[in-house]
Structure formats: C-alpha cells, structure tokens
Amino acid sequence: TRPDLLRVLICDEMNPGELNFDGFDIEYIPNMPREDILRRLPEFDALITRSRTRVDVELLDAAGPRLKVVGRGGVGVDNIDLDAASRRGVLILNAPESNNVSAAELAVMHLMAAARGLTRSDALTKSGKWDRKFLGVELKDKTLGIVGLGRIGSIVASRAQGLRMHVVAFDPYVSAEKFAQLGVDRAATLNDLLDRADFLTVHTPLTDETDGMIGAEQLARLRPGAIVVNAARGNIVDEAALVDALHSGHLFAAGVDVFKDEPPAADHPFLSAPNLSITAHLGANTVEAQERVGAEIVDRVLAALRGDVSRGA
Ligand code: MLT
C-alpha cells in the first residue's frame, strides 16, 4: 500500500475488470463480511457495493472522515441511507444503465415461466410425476401492465411487443411523447392500469411512494387469473398480499426475484406459496451486465475521486 494513492474498496461480488489505474489502489474482496467492512473502511476513500451491503449510519460512522464516495454497482440505491451520506458529505453514485437489459429479460422470463408453469412442471417431473394436466396461457394478444416505464420498464415493453402483447403502463413521471414513441398505452392512474392488465410487472425504484404500492386492494382489482411479476424490489408488491392472492387462487401465478429482506428467512411465506416461481435477486446476474456494471461504477467512482483531488479537497 502506497500512502499517496487513493484507495477504493469493492466489497461485493462483481466483475470489476481492470484494477490497475494510475493513482489508485483498488482492493476487491467479494462478499466481504460486514464486520470486516466496518473495521477496514477507515482506510479507504471510496467504497463500491451491490445491494447486499447496507450503507447505513453504522457503516458511515465506522468509515470516518476519509470516505468521500460510495458507488453502487447497480441501479437501485435503496440499500443506502442517502440523507445520512449527504450529511457526511459522502457522494453516492450508481450504475444506472449497465444491467437494464438483464433485469428486463429476467422479468420476461418470469412472465413466461408463470404463464406455462415452468417451475411447477420441473419440480413434478423431477419428483417422478409425469403430469400433463397443467394448462398454461398464451401471452400473445394479452395486455401487459407495467408500473414504471423507465429504463428497465421500456425494455420490458419492447420485448413484450415482440411477443405480440399489448402493453399499457402507468408512470406519472414519463411524458406522453415517450409513451407514444414506445407504442405503449398510457394508463392515467394505477387503478386504470390494474383494470386493463392481464399480467402485471413492476419496474420502479423502492421509495416511500412505491413501498407496498401493489397491496391487497390492487391485487384484488386485477382480473381473476392474472399473473404478477416483481423483479424490481421486495415489497413494491406487498409480500403478504401476494401470498394471499396466490393461496386464494385469484392470481394464476406469480414470479419474484426480490424479497423485502434478503436473504429471506427459512419460513418466509413465499417459499411455500402455490404457483410462485422464485429467483434469488438474479436480475443483474449475467456475464454481460456484471462486466458493464463493474466498468461503469469503477469509472464513475474514480472520476469523482479525481475531481475531488483536482478541487483540492
Ligand atoms: C440493481 O439495483 O441494479 C440490482 O439490485 C443490482 C444487484 O444485483 O445488486
């Protein structure tokens, strides 16, 4: 370690690519235990994480004054206490573009898997039951309702159009022109979207506004036999309400990639809910996305640190 170098710690699993940059000492310790992060953080000018690492008051306090930048290798910054960081003058950066295609493709996979009972048939066949009674549904000519027509939601829309689905979205932050350009129908309200959708997928960040946004009332409003996908953040679709809607048979099926608390407890109701396919927050886990995320976030963090130095901070 050279004392004249700016030091960056990457504490979560990613593909950080090239780690030799002039003026920087970058240490990559995938899945670093939290107690080690807390202990070693005072040695670093920047920290790069994924969603696994909570950047909260405890961590920021442990870091002390040297920490200037936290880079989030991914899109969502809900694992970061933004107020606490800004009070300490710590800059937060993310990699907003790199894993959008992967996240969108995973959502489409969940949609198709749910429509055709993929995980159910897989489990039955492997347990020795040759069950051909399951009747799935086609996606063609069905309406996909998308909550959140941002970077990921728009890619999901284009893929769904390729499957000849009709796409309608609710996003009060996206202009009518953008809807028109994407060939997506604009739902004026969330209820309007729920009334029209055969399938529902959410692509918003987790905020106070979106936490529990799809609750019991909203699920009940969907037509019987609807399919719900959440590959965004846990609890945008209320977990208990989703489980109830699956047990009651109101929903045909659902797919989730995310939990409110990750990893989930061994007795989490999702794990025994009928017709629910689960992946373990794998939306961004592709070779391509992780290469891009690593490169994008390292690039952004180093640029910020360089800027800091040139400003004489
Ligand atoms: C994201 O917000 O981009 C994902 O959660 C990334 C991740 O898998 O950490």
pLDDT tens sequence across 295-307: 999 999 999 999 8
The parent domain of residue 227 ranges over 100-278
We report the CATH number of the domain holding residue 33 as 3.40.50.720
257: CA distance to ligand 1 center in Å?
A: 11
Provide CB contacts within 8 A for 175, sequence distance 6+: none
Provide the pLDDT for residue 17. Answer: 83
With a 6 Å cutoff on the Cβ, whether 51 touches ligand 1 is yes
State the pTM of this model.
0.92
Q: Which two tokens stand for residue 266?
A: 């061994």
Confidence grade of residue 312 (pLDDT, cut at 50, 70, 90): very low
Strand arrangement, sheet containing 69-72: 24-28, 6-10, 46-49, 69-72, 91-94
CB-CB contact of 294 with 17 (8 Å): yes
Residue 236 lies in a domain: yes
State how far the Cα of 10 lies from the Cα of 37, in Å rounded to an integer.
10
Position 56 pLDDT exceeds 70: yes
Is the peptide bond prior to 263 cis by the omega test (within 30 degrees of 0)? Answer: yes
Q: Would you call 39 a catalytic residue per the annotation?
A: no
If you average pLDDT over residues 117-131, what whole number do you get?
A: 97
11 with 86, same domain: the answer is yes
The pLDDT-based confidence of 16 (bands split at 50, 70, 90) is: confident
Is pLDDT of 309 > 80?
no
Half-sphere exposure at residue 193, Cβ-oriented, CA atoms within 13 angstroms: 28
Any domain includes 283: no
Q: Are 10 and 291 in contact (CB under 8 A)?
A: no
Q: Give tens-digit pLDDT for 202-251.
A: 999 999 999 999 999 999 999 999 999 999 999 999 999 999 999 999 99
Shared domain for 259 and 123, answered yes or no, is: yes
Question: Atom 4, ligand 1: which residue's CA is nearest?
Answer: 74
Q: Which two tokens stand for residue 224?
A: 């019987």
Cα 32 to ligand 1 centre (Å) = 17
Helices and strands: H and E segment counts in the chain: 11, 12
1 located within any domain: no
Residue at 48 is within a domain: yes
Q: What is the pLDDT of residue 311?
A: 54
